[in-house]
Amino acid sequence: MPMQYEYTAIPEAVVPRSKDPVFQHLLDTYASETNKVVSLWRQFSAEDMAFKPADRSSTVLDVMKHQLLSERRFFAEFIGLGGEPEPAGLLPQELTPGGFSRRNEELCRPRLERMAHRDQQWWLEVVPFFDVQRQRIWVFWRRVLHTAHHRTQLSVYLRLLGKPVPSSYGPTADVTWKGADPTRSVEAAGRK
């Protein structure tokens, strides 16, 4: 049995098809990463938004705000996808896990549509990224890694709060399923 999620923000069936099939993995990955973020955020309560594990750490609220704001900047400024909303209207009216989850989904769905219409020339074009020049596809993958970094940060927060950590790529201490086979031994790592 494959991984089952309690909630799926962007079901596989609604992910648009890429104009150039070689780039379909970008759309599939972005939808999947969005689903992981939303699943994680939904584990927090409104009372958790001010939590931070140390004085110099960001709060849950800070991390969620940063995700929406920085993702908009990546797609608008660095990737140049177009169609991004103005920053002033970016954050949800309700600064709760549910409000942030809904807003993230609302922002990500149209990006998938816009990415689906891009071709190889567009993805491979070199664009400014802070103080360097990189291919647009490289900048996209940098965004995915940035999102994974903050998702991991909030996973630790959940654990510290004693809340369940949802599955991202496989079973967790809280979530497993029949057929799950995590690699936790030398023997498992040696399978071919």
The Cα-based distances of 1 to 4, 7, 26, 178, 179 in angstroms read 8, 17, 25, 6, 6
Q: Which two tokens stand for residue 131?
A: 């103080």
pLDDT of residue 100: 98
Alpha helices in the chain (DSSP H): 24-41, 60-73, 97-116, 120-124, 136-160, 186-189
User: 12-189 has which fold?
Assistant: Four Helix Bundle (Hemerythrin (Met), subunit A) (1.20.120)
**DSSP letter at 127?**
E
Give Cα separations from 40 to 84, 128, 168 (angstroms).
24, 31, 9
For residue 181, what pLDDT is reported?
Answer: 82
- pLDDT, one tens digit for every residue, the chain (192 residues): 455 667 899 999 999 999 999 999 999 999 999 999 999 999 999 999 999 999 999 999 999 999 999 999 999 999 999 999 999 999 999 999 999 999 999 999 999 999 999 999 999 999 999 999 999 999 999 999 999 999 999 999 999 999 999 988 777 778 778 888 888 889 989 989
Instruction: Kindly list the domain boundaries of the chain, sorted by start residue.
Output: 12-189
Q: What does the pLDDT read at residue 179? A: 80
Helices (H) and strands (E) in the chain, counts: 6, 2
Q: What pLDDT was estimated at residue 175?
A: 79
HSE-up of residue 79 (Cα within 13 Å, Cβ side)? 24
